[in-house]
Structure 1
Amino acid sequence: MKLSYHISIATMIVTLGICGGTTAIASPLNQANNNRLPAGAEVLRANDLLNRGQHREAAKAYFNAAQIYSSSDRDRLILQAAELAVMISDRALTDIYLSALSRHLNSENLIRYRYIQGQLALLDAQYKEALRLLPKNITGVPEGLQQKIFTARMRAAQSSGDPIILATELILQEFKLKQPYLVKLNHDRIWNQINRLSETNLDKARNNVTHPTLRGWLDLNYLQRISSTDSAQLNRNISKWQRNFPRHPANERANKMFRKTTVIPYRPTVSEPVKPIPMPVIKEAEITKPINPNKPILGGVTPPLPRTIKRVAIILPLTGSLSSIGQSLLSGIKKAQRDHASNIHMRIYDSNSDNINAVYGKAISDGKIDFVIGPFSKDKIAQLSQTPSLPVNTLGLNYIGRLKAATGLYQFGLLPEDETLQVARKMLNKGHKRIAIVVPDSSWGRRLRNSFTNAFTRNGGKAIITINYSKKGTTYNDIKKALLKKKDKIDAIFLAASPSQARAIQPLLYQGELKSIPVYATSHIYSGLANQYRNIKLEGIRYTEIPWILEVSKKGLPQDSKFPRLRALGMDALMVAKGMTTIVTGSALNGRTGQIQIGPDRVLHRQLKWAKFNGGSPIGLSE
């Protein structure tokens, strides 16, 4: 029998009673083996392989051991093997193991089965499906399994990109938080998610939501928005809300809202913490220890993060071919220091050397430092990554992929994949399912095309036509002709282009029969430098943009850097360093380059704003 989350498991779900409603599930037995596996030499051998981190071999050993047992013990061992197969992202192996399960699983094994199905959905970025599959009510199952399911549900909610879904999950899991400061952080994160909603989406949510706690949060947020400029009206609205929700967890926030507050667009510390539950990367088949709220969500041993960052070493290319980039980054770092971190002392080093380890070593030996920002070039970050463990937490300002070696090394930069994923989600949320992809025929174009296509198609979208253009081959008029042939079959266009390419292509798309087809793009279509005469040609494009560009444009100020986005990256780099102790626990920084959060393997990701051009200038759009 083939068991996959793509295939209905309704029969099993009904049998379970939505995971625990009517079926009593036995409490964990007092065994030495926390995984609740049957005893036996074969199982002990598999446990040993698992303890040594040999997950594939352990999965095979558990599966082989299952053949010795019968009934629920056999199913438990098969599920252990399948779970390890999911952990190493081997879907085919997972399906082989699951196909060997018996047709009737007991209550606990059925929960484990649904957990694995949810993990498969997460593996395929089907986040809403993962939440549907992962059980909600799991009272009575082993503590380790409970924590794994809670963690998987939170990951799915966070990855969905839907503020309502994440706020709902934060509310559902709040009962697990016993310490008051964790509860407060959870409330802050719920509020932060609701703040992300546009007025239209907030109204829609208030009309559709039935969960009373979530409805209370939504109503309070709505009241703040409609009466934020009238203190008397705000106070009356809050009093009425408190009468309707006398025991609501947001009452503490409501009390503080009685006083008029000032909204600061860029805060020097991590704002609106988004830490519902510390969320470790699961590396073992079973979590059996309580989560330490002070431990980062990342695996591996990292240098301790000081509570206060006072001394920072800056390592950037200040001479040589990359000096203009290094100077832009340094300019941003210095601006952030002046505006928000005047107490931080900086030592600056030029990375224009063949031996970055020598430069790094000098920065360490010159005197005590709390954090290192830099280097920028990928080859130098790669050199540092070969060090087993860096002595000081270090923020590389670029990406080299998954870090296999050095602990204490973080990656942060202007990652194009952050934007393509955001564009794909936006287009799908807008109902665009059949689209055209227009990208340059270059390594950069292929990178954006592959990233966008993967994110778009794995969530139900379909690319009807992909056009790879180049100066030597396809002309810009050829793009228009190809799209006209498919205009009745597509409902949107994804465009990857440099500023000059976008200014040449968009005027051809924003006219005639193609004008009604929306065009979406990443921030690469705009240099960030104001020029209304040239940028008028970008009218009609919806694109991702960093908050700094929109803020400067709104004020009508000129950019004081040749590379404004790199300058903004420098600003955020210092603020990330200052707030890293909170960021590693899952909090977000509302930065100049976007909303910044940390992901697996110490990689920082950004959520950008949405913008369009009006009269040749970029203006922000609501979510």
Structure 2
Amino acid sequence: MIACLRLFSALCLAALLAACASSPSSSLGELPRTPDATIEQLLEQATSAKTPEHAALLRLSAADMAFQQNNPARSAQILAQVPLDSLKPAAQIFASTLTAELAMGRNQPKAALAALSHPSLQNLKELPPEQQIRTGTVHARAYEADGQTLAAARERVAMAPLLTGDAAASNHEAIWSLIAAVPGEQLQASGNPVLDGWITLAQAIKNAGTLEQQQAAIDTWRAQNPAHPAAVQLPTPLTRLKELASQPLNKIALLLPQQGPLASVAKALREGFMAAHYQAQQAGQKPPVIEVYDSSRVSSLDEFYKKAQADGVQLVIGPLEKPLVKQLSARPQLPITTLALNYSEGDQAPAQLFQFGLAAEDEAREVSRRARADGLHRAAAMVPKGEWGERVLKAFRQDWEANGGTLIGVEYVDQPVALAQQIADLFKLRQSEGRAKSLQSTVGADVAAQPSRRQDIEFIFLAVTPQQAQQIKPTLNFQYAGDVPVYATSHVFSASGDKNQYNDMNGIMFCETPWLLNTTDPLRNQVTAQWPQANGSLGRLYAMGVDAYRLAPRLGQLKALPDTRIDGLSGNLGMSPSQRIERQMPWAKFVSGQIERLPDTPR
């Protein structure tokens, strides 16, 4: 009899455990099952289900199946038939998670976050690990897409203990990627010990300058936090930093044309590059050996790389010529890490290729950033006709509109004689004059009416030459738009010191390289003493040469730590995910024939 009771008890326990597998608790209700049926069969069963709860669970299963089969429209259609408020918490969490996944598929992170704010989510930790992982993953994705990077990291830290194998490793790397992307000033203690460990690791590395200092900071942090997940398994980018610190850069190839149309540009780049090299020597450092190669004589890039490898080169700086950069970007890989001094078209490039140049697109994005920081929302643009103007306008438009700005109108500058009409069209002055004439006709007498411009343009984005800007700014004044702020790229600044020219552009604000705005920099003064032409517009190329030298040993660091920035002489430098060096620049303004430095844009 006792044996029978024991058997009966065991069977009851087994039945209870089986019930718990599909129903986390009686109060939470069941999660939808993974059925062995088609979507249509599930929907048919739902129509004849004995209870509304069972029907809802069947429809949720069908909606999820459609989602897993990459049919989001069908999934959303079925999900709309499920009354969320009448479900028990487990099913509500499942439905909210699926709703968020569908929203992320439409690139709507705010809608996903709204779905995941449902009160039932407070019970998430009572559900099976699989559901916690699924919900946590979409929550992290939504936070990241919405720009809430630390919140995304917090979600990934919370679900880390539930993960194993490749999923755990991928989540571990994702946590570091998120934390590393947060600016240092935004890294504050969260009250979560594990997340705070990640944060203090990032702070330690960001506060260190050189690779050697960063490696020491990592070692110190690991000694202080031996049980932290990042100490047990160092994220891959930090492992890479350690490798970089143990592999000093001993030899660089400088690949620039010494003949042809780009020879003068290359000369300025080379002189700036070598000036930085000699400065490092004078400071007692042990800089790498520089081997100069003439790219205008290179008939085969394969032959060049073979020779460079035989010469012991560890890094190539160059080429400058766009066709050669295009060739490199089309290759699956390069035999030597290369910092090209120009940009290819598109973002596809081998992992060994980095790209750096004085891109006008950087300056267009800088204008967008500055105007946004100044609280402006509605822009008009004036750019030259042609491919260059279209490129610059595209970069400005994409950054401006992606951050909530509106581009109201665009005029393409070509013939100076057409400027007055173009500006009048941009500000709708002719419509104002037409209304005045109509009023005169109505009243039968002269009406004293000054033309009035449209008021919705808050500023003008200007990307033109100094000569064009000299004509545009007075025309704006003449056309009753002289009070509209003008934000320009560096192309308006000749650095000639011509006060008459500067007076014609009075009030225009423009971004520019630190080289041309910071005349107290010691290296700049050494270079301009030897090459006076570096005081003028050629100075931008000298600055780029200096920065190419300073970037050389830090490319791996910029790649491993996306938030790292370098204060260069061509701008404040960072790296994009496509391994392009991007510049943020200081600002100045034409004031009464002089150049007046403006406060830097907040970062």
- Verify same fold: TM over 0.5: yes
Conservation of the 8 A alpha-carbon contact between 1:469 and 1:479: no
Size of the aligned set, in residue pairs, is: 460
Partner residue of 1:543 out of 510, 517, 531? 510
Counterpart selection for 1:606 from 580, 583, 595: 583
Asked if the contact 1:79/1:112 (under 8 Å) is kept, the reply is no
CA displacement 1:466-520 (0-9 Å, x = unmatched): 2222128832553256336344222221111122212221233356742322110
Q: Which residues in structure 2 correspond to 1:18-97 (within 5 Å)? A: 61=69, 71=91, 91=107
Q: Which has the higher helix share?
A: 2
Does the alignment pair 1:413 with 2:433? Answer: no
> Which residue number in structure 1 is paired with residue 221 of structure 2?
none
Distance of 2:515 and 2:264 partners within structure 1: 19
Partner Cα distance (2:236, 2:197) in 1:
12
Q: In 2, are the aligned partners of 1:572 and 1:592 still within 8 Å (CA)?
A: yes
**1:475 corresponds to 2:419:** yes
Partner of 1:437: 381
Question: Counterpart of 2:489?
Answer: 522
1:340 lines up with 2:280 in the alignment? yes
Partners in 2 of 1:511 and 1:134 — Cα distance? 52
Q: Following TM superposition, by how much is the alpha carbon of 1:543 offset from its aligned partner in structure 2, in angstroms?
A: 1.4
Three-state SS of the structure 1 residue aligned to 2:272 is helix
Residues 62 and 81 in structure 1, CA contact (< 8 A), matched pair in contact too: no
Q: Aligned letter for 2:469?
A: A
Correspondence 1:531 to 2:498: yes
2:312 equivalent to 1:368: yes
Corresponding position: 1:578 with 2:553: yes
Cα offset for 1:571? 0.8
Cα distance between partner residues in 2 of 1:424 and 1:110: 36
User: What SS is found at the alignment partner of 1:611?
Assistant: strand
For CA contacts below 8 A with separation 6 or more, give which structure has more relative contact order: 1
Q: 2:566 pairs with 564, 568, 589, which one?
A: 589
By how many angstroms is 1:452 displaced? 1.1
Which whole-Å CA distance do the structure 1 matches of 2:377 and 2:409 have between them? 12
Deviations 1:373-408 (A, max 9, x none): 000122101212333322221100111145535221
Report matched runs for 1:320-359 at 5 Å.
320-341=260-281, 343-353=287-297, 355-358=299-302
RMSD: 4.8
Confirm or deny that 1:112 pairs with 2:89.
no
SS in 2 for 1:421: helix
Report the equivalent of 2:129: none
CA distance in 1, matches of 2:99, 2:216: 31
1:167 aligns with 2:151: no
| Superposition deviation, residue 330 in structure 1 | 0.9
Matching of residues 183-262 of structure 1 within 5 Å: 183-187=203-207
Deviations 1:550-579 (A, max 9, x none): 123899975437622122111100110033
Shift of 1:549: 0.9
Q: Letter of the 1:115 partner, please give it.
A: A
Question: What are structure 2's unaligned runs of at least 5 residues?
Answer: 1-32, 38-65, 79-89, 125-131, 162-167, 219-229, 430-452
Partner secondary structure for residue 361 of structure 1? helix
Q: Calculate percent identity across the aligned residue pairs.
A: 23
Contact residue 553 and residue 619 of structure 1 kept, 8 A: no
Return the alpha-carbon distance in structure 2 between the equivalents of residues 589 and 405 of structure 1.
23
CA contact (8 A) 1:390 1:406 kept: yes
Aligned twin of 2:322: 378
- 8 Å CA contact 1:371–1:394 kept in 2: the answer is yes
Report the Cα offset of residue 93 of structure 1.
13
Shift in CA distance, 40/481, structure 1 to aligned 2, threshold 3 Å: closer
Q: What is aligned with 2:476? A: 509
Greater shift after overlay, 534-543 or 599-608?
Answer: 534-543
| Superposition TM-score, scaled by structure 1 size | 0.62
Partner of 1:391: 335
Report the CA distance shift for 1:59/1:619 in structure 2 as closer, same or farther (over 3 A): farther
- Work out whether 1:567 is the aligned partner of 2:542: yes
- Computing the radius of gyration from Cα coordinates, the structure with the larger value is 2
> 2: CA distance between counterparts of 1:516 and 1:149?
48
1-side partners of 2:274 and 2:156: how far apart? 51
SS of residue matched to 2:264:
helix
Residue 390 of structure 1: SS of its match in structure 2? Answer: coil
Q: Where does structure 1 lack aligned partners over 5 or more consecutive residues?
A: 1-37, 43-57, 122-126, 159-165, 190-268, 278-286, 298-302
Distance in 2 (CA, whole Å) between partners of 1:271 and 1:472 is 56
2:116 & 2:558 partners in 1: Cα distance? 42
- The farther-off stretch of 457-466 and 503-512 is 503-512
The SS at the match of 1:474 is helix
Distance 1:462 1:380, change over 3 A: same
CA displacement at 1:335 relative to structure 2: 1.2
Q: In structure 2, how many angstroms separate the alpha carbons of the residues matched to 1:523 and 1:364?
A: 36
User: Counterparts of 2:581 and 2:115 in 1: how far apart (Å)?
Assistant: 38
Deviations 1:244-286 (A, max 9, x none): xxxxxxxxxxxxxxxxxxxxxxxxx689989999xxxxxxxxx
Question: Normalization by structure 2: what TM-score?
Answer: 0.64
Aligned partner (choices 451, 454, 458) of residue 491 of structure 1: 458
Is the 2:268–2:541 contact (alpha carbons within 8 Å) kept by the matching residues of 1?
yes
Q: Distance in 2 between matches of 1:602 and 1:293?
A: 15
Counterpart contact for 1:295–1:585, Cα < 8 Å: no
Question: Residues 612 and 73 (structure 1 numbering): CA distance in 2 closer, same or farther, change over 3 Å?
Answer: closer
Residues 540, 112 of structure 1: alpha-carbon distance in 2 compared, 3 angstrom cutoff: same
Deviation at 1:364, TM superposition (A): 1.4
Q: Which of the residues 458, 462, 475 maps onto 2:402?
A: 458
Q: 1:80, 1:388 → 2: CA distance?
A: 37
Deviation at 1:548, TM superposition (A): 0.6
- By how many angstroms is 1:591 displaced? 0.7
